[in-house]
Amino acid sequence: MYAVTLGALLPGAIAGWKRMDRSFRATGLVIVAATVGSNLAISLSGEVRNIVPAFIPLVVVNLKCLELFFKDSGIAPRITNQREADLPPLPRAQA
Alpha helices (H) along 42-83: 52-73
Determine if the pTM surpasses 0.75: no
> Cα torsion for 63, 64, 65, 69, to the nearest 10°?
100
DSSP tag of 87 = S
Query: What are the residue boundaries of the structural domains of the chain, listed by start?
Result: 2-75
Residue 80's pLDDT band (cuts 50, 70, 90): low
- pLDDT tens-digit profile of 14-62? 887 787 888 888 888 898 888 888 887 876 666 777 778 888 888 888 8
Rounded distance, CA 71 to CA 76, Å?
6
